[in-house]
Structure 1
Amino acid sequence: MDFNDTPAEAEYRAKVRAWIEANAAEYLEPPAAPYGLDEFVARSKAWQAKKHDAGYAGLTWPKEVGGQGLSPMHQIIFNQEESRTYVPTGLYSIGLGMCIPTVFTHGTPEIIARYVPKALRGEEVWCQLFSEPVAGSDLASIRTRAVRDGDEWVVNGQKVWTSFAHRSDFGIIVTRTDFDAPKHKGLTMFIVDMKAPGVEVRPIRQMSGSSDFNEVFFTDVRIPDSHRLGAVGDGWKVALTTLMHERLAVGGKPRHAPGYRTLLEVAKGIETDTGPAIERADVRQRIADTYIADEGVKLTQMRALSALSKGAIPGPEQSIAKVVVAKTMQDMSAFALDLAEGAGLAVTPGSDLERLQQSYMWSAGLRIAGGTDEILRNIIAERVLGLPGDLRPDKDTPFSQLKPL
């Protein structure tokens, strides 16, 4: 495994770095205070438009849909350089990372022409409407119903944990169109206008103080059949396209997330009954555990980069990185806050302890988003280690005969 750029990759990296330094000068340091939602959205749209106009949006997308037609390594290099800054990008992580690739893979030419260019420039924001109160990790158990009425479909049901639904213009929604088919075979995917009559978005207040997640209710929402993605009943196949992109997107460590170095600095500044925390054997052991986990994830991701550089597609090994990252973040943050005792509650804004506090509150969601730990461990067991698959007695049972949990 060679961790160094090829000459061509090094040349591209230098070009990207120079462009970012020239165009993201105000984001080279963290903001003095968190942005309000309106400012975050405005800054996100401005940065996405700037990337688009410079040819740095949709790097791996086909040229015929407005992308650059470059290799995954070009996108990775750009992401690495962009991650050195504090530019706001999260508003588009769902839409451009998961939704729009699904649209241009399964949509008609007319749908692609209408939606992809505006999304790529950041003019329209997208969300992903998958999870439901009784169907989280078991996505095929959804109950949101779509019934055909001439050239339209009438949708009724509820989705939950939908990121940025309250700021989205459109979404992709998976629905159940056949309750008498087995649960994986009665699904159909659509594009839905988030401003359409009958769509109600309710932000969910999180313990971190933010409201990124939402629950969304659909009451007699009408969707044209022209906005169907894939064939009727092929929703699971279409959803797999989205999920493949989602797990790749959430598999790595979040930008600027605290790591073992943060824990090391916090331990240096905490006094315990026996002296500085950094001198305690148990503290040093936890720092070492975090370092090992961080390095393991780094090397696993390097393996994926190595595969990409050779033209291969990273496999289910990406699930390993997500399982380790989420659990390590939660365990490390909880340990640091316990070690700080009362100081772990009344943190100073901008301090390492505040970063760890935010990490602790966010990491619980990270262990669910993009597949729970349990689902991903099954993927690792079955597709990486080759162990026997779980028994699935409901696989061929009509959905209407299944009892909800």
Structure 2
Amino acid sequence: MTLPELGETPGFREEARAWLEEALRGEFAAARGLGGPGREHEGHELRLAWERHLGKNGWTCLGWPERYGGRTASLEDQVAFHEEYARADAPARVGHIGEGLIGPTILEFGTDEQKARFLPPIQRGEELWCQGYSEPEAGSDLAGVQTKARLEDGQWVVTGQKVWTSLAHVADWCFVLCRTEPGSQRHRGLSYLLVPMRQPGVTVRPIVQLTGTSEFNEVFFDGARTAAGNVLGAPGDGWRVAMATLGYERGASTLGQQIGFRRELAKVIETAKTTGAADDPVLRDRLVQSWLELEIMRLNALRMVRPDPGPEVSIAKLYWSEWHRRLGELAQAVQGKSGLVGELNDLQRLYLFSRADTIYAGSSEIQRNIIAERTLGLPR
């Protein structure tokens, strides 16, 4: 008998484990292990079907209210499910941006109509989302966005460019931070719009990465339209809403992200045993250190999760991105010379993709500034 960890609902972990074991047979047996950073191209249609199967059976959006398809599950139960999901080698989720970022933001800022319209399709895996933040001249300095929107005949008309937009090529909707007050600067005059991707005026161009895949994209809005009611929060209050989304991205959602991290670390350790690298005391010490830091990452994520995430969640982003980059370097080290030749394997792909981790979603330099100024109260 498995005893529940402190705070878990008795029997919940066992229920999740049994369901996953049964579900990942037959039709979804081939989905095991698919996807992840630098591998988002793998089995997309099968993983999309899996997402809908999860939703149909009540295993997505566990912490959401029941009226929107969730279970109002405790944080401890959510963590238990993530851990069992990783243990089952289930595929990387295709709906994580909807469930982990925009969903909680809609729950916090959305009207009843917006919640009823957008939350159920996310929970059911029927609509996928992407994040329209970064621009060619406004990456880490998000307050410099220049994408514009104006109201015209009851619709927002959006014009501008976004870049490094993960999964835009498969997304149905994009939450777009744009400037809606002419002449406004910096944090003022921004609005947070919900924009359909499959319409005239939206062009997506994949960006080929070092891994040879194209998870990231450029997105061009040339008169794209969305209903006047598809603004989250008040017009002009987009900065506050956008920062809340980043709080969710860097807080609770990292618990789901760690599914892939644990799987990757396990593969690095397995490879180290196979190649003999685990017998090297220096590399063995690095492997142990990596495991310990991943455990700390989990505990920090649990400690920081709360309904109103503050600037301290930048610690989570800084921590996981630096850790993942080091894991990529360790993945190359345990392979030895064989890691430098042949077709791209999973560990080589991990090394190449993780080079970007300390840049996207807020660079490490910016995160350190936020931690220093807004959390520790140090001077600018």
Q: Is structure 2 residue 118 aligned with structure 1 residue 115? A: yes
Following the alignment from structure 1 to structure 2, what is the Cα–Cα distance between the partners of residues 362 and 59?
A: 29
How far off is 1:109 after superposition?
2.2
Give the alignment's Cα RMSD to 1 decimal. Answer: 3.2
Paired position in structure 1 for 2:357: 366
- 2:262 paired with 1:259: no
Q: Give the Cα–Cα distance (whole angstroms) in 2 for the partners of residues 108 and 49 of structure 1.
A: 25
The secondary structure found in structure 2 opposite 1:366 is coil
Distance 1:348 1:33 in 2: 18
The equivalent residue for 1:104 is 107
Work out whether 1:381 is the aligned partner of 2:376.
no
* 8 Å CA contact 1:97, 1:245 repeated in 2: yes
For structure 2, the 5+ residue unaligned runs are none
| 1:141–1:150 CA distance, 2 compared to 1 (3 A) | same
**Deviation for aligned residue 1:321:** 4.5
Give a deviation string over 1:294-325, Cα, whole Å, max 9, x none: 313413422543676xx887766654444343
Could you say what secondary structure the match of 1:57 adopts?
coil
Q: How far, CA to CA, are the matches of 1:299 and 1:124 in structure 2?
A: 34
The whole-number CA distance in structure 2 between the counterparts of 1:214 and 1:306 is 33
Does the CA contact (< 8 Å) of 1:98 and 1:246 recur in 2?
Answer: yes
Aligned: 1:302 with 2:293? no
Q: Contact 2:268 / 2:331 at 8 angstroms: preserved in 1?
A: no
The match for 1:173 is: 176
- Report the Cα distance in structure 1 between the residues aligned to 2:369 and 2:147, rounded to whole angstroms: 26
- CA shift for structure 1 position 262: 2.2
Q: Residue type matched to 2:23 in 1?
A: N
How many Å separate the matches in 2 of 1:338 and 1:303?
28
Residue 225 of structure 1 aligns with an amino acid whose one-letter code is A
- Does 2:127 align with 1:129? no
Q: Which amino acid in the other structure matches residue 357 of structure 1?
A: Q
Residues 339, 87 of structure 1: alpha-carbon distance in 2 compared, 3 angstrom cutoff: closer
- Aligned position for 1:357: 348
> Could you tell me which amino acid in structure 1 is paired with residue 368 of structure 2?
R
Question: Aligned partners of 2:102 and 2:235: how far apart in 1?
Answer: 18
Amino acid across the alignment from 1:356: L
Structure-2 change in CA distance of 1:7 and 1:293 (3 Å): closer
Instruction: Check whether the contact 1:144–1:158 (CA below 8 A) recurs between aligned residues.
Output: yes
Match of 2:332 among 326, 334, 337: 337
1:57 counterpart = 2:54: no
Cα gap change, 1:83 to 1:278, in 2 (>3 Å): closer
Q: Which moved more, 1:41-50 or 1:209-218?
A: 41-50
Percent pairwise identity: 34
Residue-by-residue CA offset, 1:344-385 (whole Å, 9 max, x unaligned): 232467xxxx3321111111222223321112222333455x
In 2, distance between residues paired with 1:278 and 1:59? 38
Q: Which range is displaced more, 54-63 or 75-84? A: 54-63
Q: Give the number of equivalent residue pairs.
A: 372
Return the letter of the residue paired with 1:136: G
Is the alpha carbon distance of 1:285 and 1:15 closer, same or farther for their aligned partners in structure 2, counting shifts above 3 Å? Answer: same
Partner of 1:147: 150
Counterpart amino acid of residue 341 in structure 2: A
Counterpart CA distance in 2 for 1:247 and 1:178 is 29
Q: Is the 8 A contact 1:260 1:287 kept in 2?
A: no
The two structures have a TM-score, normalised by structure 1, of 0.80
TM-score under structure 2 length normalisation: 0.85
1:285 aligns with 2:275: no
Runs of 4+ in 1 over 4 A off after TM superposition: 26-39, 277-280, 311-318, 338-342
* AA matched with 1:388: L
Q: CA 1:86–1:8 in 2, change beyond 3 Å: closer, same or farther?
A: closer
Give structure 1 stretches of 5+ with no counterpart: 271-276, 391-405
Give deviations 1:38-67, integer Å, cap 9, x for gaps.
Answer: 872322232222222222222111223332
Q: CA deviation digits over 1:15-42, x for unaligned, max 9?
A: 1111111112366788598899787232
CA distance in 1, matches of 2:33, 2:8: 37
State the alpha-carbon separation in 2 of the partners of residues 82 and 263 from structure 1.
20
Does the C-alpha gap of structure 1 residues 378 and 285 become closer, same or farther in structure 2, counting only changes over 3 Å? farther
d(CA) in 2 for partners of 1:307 and 1:98? 16
Shift of 1:264: 7.6
Greater radius of gyration (CA) = 1
Aligned: 1:11 with 2:11: yes
- The answer for the alignment partner of 2:84 in structure 1 is 81
Whole-angstrom CA distance in 2 between matches of 1:81 and 1:358:
25
CA contact (8 A) 2:328 2:351 kept: yes
Residues 42, 267 of structure 1: CA spacing in aligned structure 2 closer, same or farther, 3 A cutoff? Answer: closer
Q: Give 3-state SS (helix, strand or coil) of 1:157's partner.
A: strand
Contact preservation (8 Å) 2:135, 2:163: yes
- 1:400: which partner in 2? none
**Partners in 2 of 1:183 and 1:343 — Cα distance?**
49
Partner of 1:240: 243
